[in-house]
Amino acid sequence: MTDWTREREARDARIAAGRAFADGKVVARESAKALLEVIIRPGDRVCLEGDNQKQADLLAEALARVDPDKVHDLHMVQSGIVLPAHLDVFDRKIARRLDYAYSGPQAGRIAKMLFGGQIALGAVHTYLELFARYFVDLTPQVALIAAVSADREGNLYTGPNTEDTPTVVEATTFKNGLVVAQVNEIVDRVPRVDIPGDRVHFVVDARKPFYVEPLFTRDPGAITETQILTAMLAIRGIYAEYGVQRLNHGIGFNTAAIELLLPTYGERLGLKGKIATRWALNPHPTLIPAIESGWVQQIHCFGSEVGMDDYIRARSDIFFTGPDGSLRSNRAFCQTAGLYACDMFIGSTLQIDLEGHSSTVTTSRIAGFGGAPNMGSDARGRRHPSAAWLQAGREADPDRAPALRRGRKLVVQIGETFGEKNVPLFVEQLDALALAEKLDLDLAPVMVYADDVTHIVTEEGIANLLLCRSRDEREQAIRGVAGYTDVGRGRDAGMVRRLRERGVIRRPEDLDIDPLDADRSMLAARSIKELVQWSGGLYRPPSQFRNW
């Protein structure tokens, strides 16, 4: 007779083994390694919590120190490969297979290890896609997560950085898996219950805060006038043109410039209340002036941002907060909001090819996808209309019967024709293709596919790809905003002129923008210090951003 509760029995046996290192559910940090050695089995799928922000760093280091004779051939299924320990587990042959989403700071090392064959790669995902697979074919057997505090029953308080935790725990614990949380401290009663204790099997008392990366902080002092020009173009040529109210911004100085121009340039154009009112966005410090000026109605966050906690607490009409007053973030829901409830995604990238495919991969660095492909793709399951979405759909397919014509998500790539270190943004062929060949991948790691991109913005102008009617037109529209890059110089001047006449390409002057006006004085805040002033002292930037 089949035993249909084997997983549950195996889980209970592991818990029983782990109890040797615990007082109730509580484990001393010194015992973390020993605990992991008895509760993890070779071949397990393990989620080590960590994304582009919070990290279960103590548990990551403990896992990297386990005895590879006891624990080996793990299949890591996790959002982020961010800490050195995340790759050490592969170096030490504790882990073998990997499915993940984001590897920003380890982009160089992970590329080397993939080339070297130390990691057997499943796939690079977006966050939401990986979460989806947690419920279907990548369900973790063990989840190692991070929270701010726990009580002795295992109830967890994540504080403002709830992020992936509820999703990881739900997939693991309800499919007979084991959940171990590192917490900064054990308390008598948690300020709010982010994870109920009956989902948590062990709590490791880390006696120190888990690590959080201030990834979404951009110093206004570093914003260039070229970036300000691209921001003006985007506001006037896209935000205002489509009346975009619900949106997400990627990370980068171009979008930070947009945030800082809303209360100045945007105000002058009379756009307050008409654009950029509702956001799926982390609490970007550069959005503070727009919030304080009454531009923003609501923000839902993937995670928090270092230093923003007091500000958020004092602005609960804008942010989602808990009964304790602090931010409630949730990556799964915010990604869903970005996918289905936003009319625009705008972000930067490293390379754009002649069709409009873009990628952040270079031959020696694999940064992963994070959330961009999810939010930067047309959500074909969407059924509710909005003015911006309908207008984009109309532009893309003017001849179709309106009632059968879906709208389109606005997916905008913004950047300077020559990026950091003077590397051209536009290329004949993405480095991602060479990488796919080298690693024998089925698919090149494309961030946003050409058929999803609707606009490309550079200092030379806006290319509206929705209005292109052929492959040739698309290519020339892209070349037409590619400036002095090789791609830009390869343009067909006559065709680019005709595209401009049709409004497919729009130059600054076509939008009444004088590039000489693109001045740093237009920024609502020109420094981190001014952001602090805007916040009434509530924003407390991390030390690396304080220079006064």
- Which residues between 193 and 232 bind its own copies (CB under 8 A)? 193-194, 196-199
Residues 86-115 that bind its own copies (CB under 8 A): 99
Q: Name which position in 8, 469, 471, 502 contacts its own copies (CB under 8 A).
A: 8
- Which amino acid is located at 151 in the chain? D
- Any residues with CB less than 8 A from the CB of 8 and at least 6 apart, and which? 176
Closest contact distance (angstroms) between CB of 456 and its own copies is 18
Q: Which is nearer to its own copies, 2 or 543 (CB)?
A: 2
Q: Which is nearer to its own copies, 34 or 436 (CB)?
A: 436
Q: Which is nearer to its own copies, 246 or 506 (CB)?
A: 246
Q: Distance between CA atoms of 535 and 325, rounded to whole angstroms?
A: 17
Residues 272-291 that bind its own copies (CB under 8 A): 278-280
Q: Name which position in 4, 270, 399, 422 contacts its own copies (CB under 8 A).
A: 4
Choose the binding region for its own copies from 108-116, 122-130, 473-481, 507-515 (rule: CB under 8 A).
122-130
User: Tell me, what DSSP letter sits at residue 54?
Assistant: E
Spell 285-295 as b/e; 16+ CB within 10 A means b. bbbbbbbbbeb
Residue that is written with structure tokens 């959005």 in the block: 287
Q: Does 410 bind its own copies (CB under 8 A)?
A: no
- Any residues with CB less than 8 A from the CB of 83 and at least 6 apart, and which? 50, 55, 57, 60, 61, 106, 211
| Residues 477, 480, 485, 491, CA torsion sign | positive
Q: Name which position in 239, 333, 426, 545 contacts its own copies (CB under 8 A).
A: 333
Q: Distance between CA atoms of 45 and 132, rounded to whole angstroms?
A: 15
Choose the binding region for its own copies from 37-45, 102-110, 324-332, 475-483 (rule: CB under 8 A).
324-332
Residues 291-310 that bind its own copies (CB under 8 A): 294, 298, 300
Q: Both tokens of residue 114?
A: 């993939």
Q: Both tokens of residue 239?
A: 């935000």
Let me know how long the chain is.
548
β-strand partners of 196? none
Q: Does 395 bind its own copies (CB under 8 A)?
A: no
Q: Which is nearer to its own copies, 91 or 153 (CB)?
A: 153
Residues 168-197 that bind its own copies (CB under 8 A): 170-171, 173-176, 192-194, 196-197
How many binding residues for its own copies (CB under 8 A)? 99
Residues 441-470 that bind its own copies (CB under 8 A): 441-446, 449, 451-452
Closest contact distance (angstroms) between CB of 61 and its own copies is 28
Compute CA distances 152 → 33, 179, 251, whole Å: 20, 15, 38
Q: Distance between CA atoms of 250 and 313, rounded to whole angstroms?
A: 24
Choose the binding region for its own copies from 77-85, 340-348, 476-484, 487-495 (rule: CB under 8 A).
340-348
Q: Which is nearer to its own copies, 311 or 545 (CB)?
A: 311
Residues 29-68 that bind its own copies (CB under 8 A): none
Closest contact distance (angstroms) between CB of 484 and its own copies is 27
Q: Distance between CA atoms of 82 and 34, rounded to whole angstroms?
A: 24
Q: Which is nearer to its own copies, 371 or 483 (CB)?
A: 371
How many Cα atoms occupy the beta-carbon half-sphere of 366 within 13 Å? 26
